[in-house]
């Protein structure tokens, strides 16, 4: 079939990619031309294959989803990237769109939404799953105390990699485990941790967890 939308799937779980591929195979207008399990591989495949749309998860080892979006868009400012993630919090949507993504949907969405999002983004439109950005979210953020608003500003200023490390620190992971999770050297992971604590002016995991919970990045 002519004019099929060419897709690259990026997710570190082979089973998830297989599910995506199976779902999209039912659409005559969409063709999966390549798959990647980490960001570095996705960036290279994008340059080689030049897909119409790249569908990717945010949580991946290596450079991670946000950095993958940023690097891809730096190399091609017309790149069309759809985030397909388990994260539904507004901060993830904001960061992904600021990095250059053209759409954001969750893995909890109805399968038809994935197809709809791909088609709209391929046409040059923006697509964000209904309900991900709500007025009450904005009101909730506005009601944060001054110190917590400052935390929000700092978190939003973190680089993609710092943000990944912050979330893992808040979940209680050690520098060694973070290094393994993100494929970083131990010293690099430890340095990120120090930088993040310094920026937020905190010293304990409990304080980091509190900030993450207040900003809706973790559940209590």
Query: How many CA atoms does the CB half-sphere of 189 hold within 13 Å?
Result: 21
63 burial class (0-12, 13-18, 19+ CB within 10 angstroms)? buried
Report the alpha-carbon distance of residue 204 to residue 135 in Å, rounded.
33
In this predicted structure, what is the pLDDT of residue 94? 83
Six-digit token string for 4: 């099929």
Neighbours of 185 (CB within 10 A): 9
The residue assigned the tokens 């200023």 is 157
Nearest of 83, 94, 64 to residue 178 by alpha carbon: 64
pTM of the complete model: 0.67
The pLDDT tens digits for 8-20 are: 999 999 999 998 8
**Domain span(s) for CATH 3.40.50.2300 in the chain:** 5-128
Q: Model confidence at 31, in pLDDT bands (50, 70, 90)? A: very high
Q: How far is CA 85 from the centre of its chain?
A: 7
In this predicted structure, what is the pLDDT of residue 136? 39
Report the alpha-carbon distance of residue 45 to residue 27 in Å, rounded.
23
**Domain span(s) for CATH 1.10.10.10 in the chain:** 144-214
The pLDDT tens digits for 176-188 are: 999 998 989 999 9
The pLDDT tens digits for 98-149 are: 889 999 999 888 888 999 999 999 998 889 888 875 543 443 444 444 456 6
What does the pLDDT average to over 163-168? Answer: 92
Q: Which CATH topology does 144-214 take?
A: Arc Repressor Mutant, subunit A (1.10.10)
161 burial class (0-12, 13-18, 19+ CB within 10 angstroms)? middle
pLDDT of 82 above 80: yes
Superfamily of domain 5-128: Response regulator (3.40.50.2300)
């Amino acid at each position: 079939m002519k004019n099929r939308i060419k897709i690259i799937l990026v997710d570190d779980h082979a089973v998830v990619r297989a599910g995506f591929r199976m779902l999209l195979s039912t659409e005559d207008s969409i063709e999966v031309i390549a798959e990647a399990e980490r960001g570095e591989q996705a960036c290279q495949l994008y340059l080689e294959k030049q897909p119409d749309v790249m569908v990717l998860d945010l949580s991946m080892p290596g450079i991670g989803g946000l950095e993958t979006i940023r690097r891809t868009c730096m190399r091609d400012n017309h790149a069309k990237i759809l985030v397909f993630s388990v994260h539904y919090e507004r901060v993830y949507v904001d960061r992904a769109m600021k990095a250059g993504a053209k759409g954001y949907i969750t893995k909890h969405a109805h399968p038809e939404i994935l197809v709809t999002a791909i088609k709209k983004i391929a046409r040059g439109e923006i697509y964000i799953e209904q309900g991900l950005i709500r007025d009450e979210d904005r009101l909730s953020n506005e009601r944060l105390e001054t110190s917590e608003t400052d935390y929000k500003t700092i978190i939003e200023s973190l680089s993609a990699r710092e943000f990944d490390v912050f979330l893992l620190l808040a979940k209680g992971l050690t520098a060694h485990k973070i290094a393994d999770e993100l494929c970083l050297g131990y010293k690099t992971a430890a340095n990120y941790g120090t930088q993040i604590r310094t920026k937020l002016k905190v010293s304990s995991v409990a304080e980091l967890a509190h900030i993450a919970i207040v900003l809706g990045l973790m559940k209590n």
